[in-house]
Amino acid sequence: MPAIASIMKSMEYGPAPEANDHVLAWLARHETGFGHFIDGAFAVPADAAFIDVANPASDAVIARTVAGSAAHVDAAVAAARAAFPAWSGLSGHHRARYLYAIARTIQKRERFFAVLESMDNGKPIRESRDIDVPLAARHFYHHAGWAELVESEFPGAKALGVCGQIIPWNFPLLMLAWKIAPALAAGNTVVLKPAEYTPLTALAFAEVCREVGLPKGVVNVVTGDGAAGAALVAHGDVDKIAFTGSTEVGRLIREATAGTGKKLTLELGGKSPFIVFADADLDGAVEGVVDSIWFNQGQVCCAGSRILVQEAVAQRFTAKLKARMETLRVGDPLDKSIDIGAIVHPVQLDRIKMLVGKGEAEGARLHQAACALPEKGSFYSPALLTGVEPASTLAQEEIFGPVATLTTFRTPDEAVALANNTRYGLAASIWSENINLALDIAASVKAGVVWLNSTNIFDAGAGFGGYRESGFGREGGREGMLEYLSDPAEKTSGQAAEEKTAFAAHTDTLPAPEQASPIVDRPVIDRTAKLYVGGKQARPDSGYSYVVSGRDGKPAGLAGLGNRKDIRNAVEAAAKAGDWGKVTGHNRAQVLFYVAENLSARQAEFETRLRSLTGVSKDAAAREVETSIRRSFWYAAQADKTDGLVHQTKSGHVTLAMNEPFGVMGIACPQAMPLLSFVSLVMPAIAMGNRVVVVPSETHPLVATDFCQVLDTSDVPAGVVNIVTGERDVLARTLAEHDEVAAMWYFGTASGSAMVEKASAGNLKVTWVNGGRARDWQSDTEGQGRLFLRRALQVKNVWVPYGE
């Protein structure tokens, strides 16, 4: 036996295996294969084919699960639909008792779940034991509280219905808890599809549901590969899809659900920056790297895989990091002294090796820990690559393995530019002893979660989710609960009749956007309204206009026929007005108050314009203008009062939920109430700091072009509001496809709504569409409210530690 002194010097470890006999016995009881869990019972369908489940540390098959088919998904959805009325009809307190019982049972079985998770997934037992299982229990405890409070905290909100949930293989039990807990708390029923590589903890969880007496059909588990997931996404009786996985699959889901009315949340890939400034605690930052990229073998969507280090300390930091790499132990996940376990599957291991090889071919230098790897299983030594250019494959593609890149920077501005040089926006980690600098960088980085002098900290009380191609929606906290509830303000008055368009009325005189021809009888028209781009009136790129009819059906004017290039110019103008999002809420409020004041001064003029164009009565025109003025005041008042939150999470941390604007938003307005609908959509967006490109009412665009003069006299900065008139759905498609547009609102037809959602899949922008349903813009419930403000914001959670 070696002497203690020599062990302290060598830091060698002896084996410390975790017993797994209880898990092996459970697996043996199911050696013929696991069935689906549907309607409160496990069953193997008569037509079942099976998928082998292997232990990634040994390659040994440890279980077989059914390969789910569309018919199996049908049965599970039917069970969930049948269970929904009774489950959603329970009091919140009653549902809270079930969630509390689930949390308690997970705690009582934590060793079983931890061992099963490590055998199924390959992660070290100390991670599944100390992180995954306690956090899963925490989510059910936390959401038991939300279930108890749902009626008072979300008044009028209702459950959505049946939720289809698809989870990945990197955190099988924890991702299950993130999705099932809020769904049940809100009163929804669930069909869960776990990853084909790692289904076992989901099946063990189903046993917990049965043990605590959860009503049949409330939770259903269908195992299988991507075909089962696709069937769940496409199912017509599913009301919401929640997906965690790759951006590529997320994009397909966005396209598949377009126009279906399904609520959708996507938590997708990441390429998160890990920024180290010269004044950082370098030893602490090195340990942060260990916890960030070598945690769970780097199979973490928010892993800090791009290390950015300030030049002044780059050499010292790199030396420390390489030395720390050499102390990491790779091996059997059930060994309690192991740092890095097994990669989940040989296919993933091959992908890691391929990407690293490609990076080396592009000039990166590989530094890999010289640790012995087990002979069996899918293992990969921790790796660091230097000399990586910002545009290289390794800096842009998600590797999803224990591989980090290191790049240097000189100034904070350069650090932000490098950090944001990615299509993703899930997380970031910032290391500096200067709290002013750290918070400034946190506000500048485009990411949904930012950790200061820490990394990979999670809690059920704080939302988690990304920006840009990392998806949309949040899981955890108040934001996560909202994803599983309907908003009372969305209860609109049913399906709208197909809207009449200006283009349908004048197809004989209008040129197609691609082949323009001279237009109409100029002597009857007194003037042609121009577009409004970058604070200036601009002629349309096409050089053509279209006829706008008045209430008598006769021409009342001409409006510019905008095209793709006009949208491009408007988006560029909006992008240049980025300082609008940085000014204080008070300053934005003053501008919006001024807009209301100037609109009020021209009230009679707008009333006359509405009557001449739309044919409404004098009283109706007066109400529309007066409501528009009042609505501008309301959003001006909200500009400096729509605050974020400080979440109750872990001790020693202030967790700030900061409201941030999207940036450039596209807005397509309905035909009805051309002034009020325009104001009701534009004002909340700019009140929250966004810049907008607006397509106004196609049939009555002259009301919006008149509004330009109000903007000009109200100190609205150039580029904050841009107006492009023309064929709404053509222009809306261009906005939805534009990569620099971060969010898109569309209020029009059902077919237009589907088009916008599908077109948005390119950069996975956030969309809000009406599905063709009419909205009462005069109503303070449907035409105004916090829903509009919430839809104009994204939430960034910043974790700020304190103490020594």
d(CA 190, CA 177): 12
Q: Is the dihedral of CA 628, 634, 640, 642 positive or negative?
A: negative
Comparing C-alpha atoms, which of 274, 268, 269 is closest to residue 384?
A: 274
Asked if 428 contacts 450 with a C-beta cutoff of 8 angstroms, the reply is yes
Tokens linked to 129? 């034991």
SS3 87: helix
Question: How far is C-alpha 33 from the geometric centre of its chain's CA atoms?
Answer: 36
Asked if 176 contacts 163 with a C-beta cutoff of 8 angstroms, the reply is no
**Cα angle, residue 796 at apex, residues 795 and 802 outer, rounded to 5°:** 135
Tokens linked to 186? 């809100």
209, 301, 669, 708: the catalytic one is: 301
Report CA-CA distances (Å) from 495 to 300, 477, 492, 502, 750: 43, 33, 9, 21, 9
Name the phi and psi angles at 535, rounded to 5: 80, 10
Comparing C-alpha atoms, which of 727, 774, 734 is closest to residue 755?
A: 734
Q: Which of 375-393 are b and which e, b meaning 16 or more Cβ less than 10 Å from the residue's Cβ?
A: eebbbbbbbbbbebeeebb
**Cα angle, residue 116 at apex, residues 113 and 119 outer, rounded to 5°:** 150
Q: What is the dihedral angle through the alpha carbons of 679, 782, 239, 482, rounded to the nearest 10 degrees? A: 90
- The single-letter DSSP state of residue 132 is I
Q: What is the dihedral angle through the alpha carbons of 181, 185, 191, 193, rounded to the nearest 10 degrees? A: -10
Asked if 531 contacts 538 with a C-beta cutoff of 8 angstroms, the reply is yes
Find tokens 């059902």 and name the residue: 750
Name the phi and psi angles at 772, rounded to 5: 85, 0
First vs last Cα of the chain: how many Å apart? Answer: 39
Other C-beta atoms lying within 10 Å of the C-beta of residue 494: 8
From its phi and psi, is residue 499 left (phi > 0), alpha (psi between -120 and 50) or beta? beta
267 included as an active-site residue: yes
Report CA-CA distances (Å) from 469 to 198, 247, 268, 743, 762: 25, 7, 7, 12, 9
Find tokens 């696991």 and name the residue: 34
Asked if 771 contacts 796 with a C-beta cutoff of 8 angstroms, the reply is no
Q: Which of 91-102 are b and which e, b meaning 16 or more Cβ less than 10 Å from the residue's Cβ?
A: ebeebbbbbbbb
Alpha-carbon Rg of the chain, whole angstroms? 28
Other C-beta atoms lying within 10 Å of the C-beta of residue 259: 19
Tokens linked to 124? 């070290």
209 included as an active-site residue: no
- The single-letter DSSP state of residue 1 is -
Asked if 264 contacts 253 with a C-beta cutoff of 8 angstroms, the reply is yes
Report CA-CA distances (Å) from 513 to 112, 531, 562: 65, 16, 8
SS3 607: helix
Asked if 365 contacts 385 with a C-beta cutoff of 8 angstroms, the reply is yes
Enumerate residues 6+ apart whose C-beta is below 8 A from 772. 495, 496, 748, 749, 750, 751, 752, 753
117, 127, 196, 267: the catalytic one is: 267
Asked if 38 contacts 216 with a C-beta cutoff of 8 angstroms, the reply is no
Positions annotated as catalytic residues are 267, 301
